[in-house]
Amino acid sequence: YKKPMWDVLTGRRDGRVSLLSEANANIPSPLSNFSTLLQNFSSKGLGLEDLVVLS
């Protein structure tokens, strides 16, 4: 290869411990309606555009 190469850091940077209870508390139910999803996103400082983009 004659292209420049660089090291890429790998691994998670958001924490060292994953807990099922915390994950489930922050993931909306697949049965949630629009109003519930919007309220859930709003409680985390996210808006309608975030909901649409991430859905």
39: closest CA among 15, 29, 23?
Answer: 29
Taking the C-alpha atoms of residue 29 and residue 9, their distance in angstroms, rounded to an integer, is 33
pLDDT in tens, 1-28: 678 888 888 877 777 788 888 888 888 8
Taking the C-alpha atoms of residue 35 and residue 39, their distance in angstroms, rounded to an integer, is 6
Helices (H), ranges, 1-55: 20-26, 34-43, 48-54
* This prediction's pTM: 0.61
Taking the C-alpha atoms of residue 32 and residue 6, their distance in angstroms, rounded to an integer, is 43
Whether residue 28 is annotated as binding a ligand: the answer is yes
22-38 average pLDDT score: 90
